[in-house]
Homo-oligomer: A and B are copies of this chain.
Amino acid sequence: MSILEEVLSSNDAYVDSFGDKGQLAMPPARGFAILTCMDARLDPAKYAGLSEGDAHVIRNAGGRASDDAIRSLVISYKLLGTKEWFVIHHRDCGMELFTDDVIRGLLASSLETAEIGADGFTDVGAGPGSREGDYIDWLTIADQAASVTEDVRRIKAHPLVPSGIPVYGYIYDVATGRLIEVPEATEVGRAG
């Protein structure tokens, strides 16, 4: 089966077991939101115990507090009533394995997928590439605890975020499934 066929087949099974979930309301029942990484190993519903209807989940490369994540958080709060937020980065994140210069160079070399090895990424493609990557801030991560704290600080300092919203900073350990607090981040995130 193709990927598309597999996804649609799984969806058929989900529809068959859907039950009364069609009755769920739009605002998150448990009134919170999670910002986390797109990493395939992370399932926020599973690691945080979410059922359908419980909480907003925002995901991007790194789980970073990008402008777009803040757009989503402000909508989550202002229109749909979430009152507590989590920022959850994770160990062994791909965003730690490169820098803006590295991905810009790889993209300029070719648009084919690079290979990961012990020494980092190697471009194996044949051109043409694009220099458009030079104009993107890739939001890479040098230190996880620092990135969580910086992102919580950015969210708390945003003029559209009320000071009273607690923001909890955590790191997800992909080796164990455990959420580990980043105390500096939570301290910033509870202030207000």
Contact = CB atoms under 8 A, between A and B. Distances in A.
B132 A48 contact: no
Interface in A9-28: 9-11, 13-15, 18, 21-22, 24, 26-28
A41 B15 contact: no
User: Chain A, interface size: which category?
Assistant: 35 or more
B39 A26 contact: yes
Given A7-B179, A76-B38, A111-B162, A45 B43 contact: yes
A142 interface: no
Given A22-B174, A47-B11, A66-B68, A57 B59 contact: yes
A87 interface: no
Given A60-B68, A60-B72, A176-B22, A49 B13 contact: yes
B11 A179 contact: yes
Contacts of A3: 30-32, 84
Contacts of A168: 4
B48 A11 contact: yes
B56 A39 contact: yes
Contacts of A9: 49
A146 interface: no
A61 to B, nearest CB: 4
6 contacts: A11-B178, A26-B39, A57-B59, A75-B94, A75-B103, A80-B116
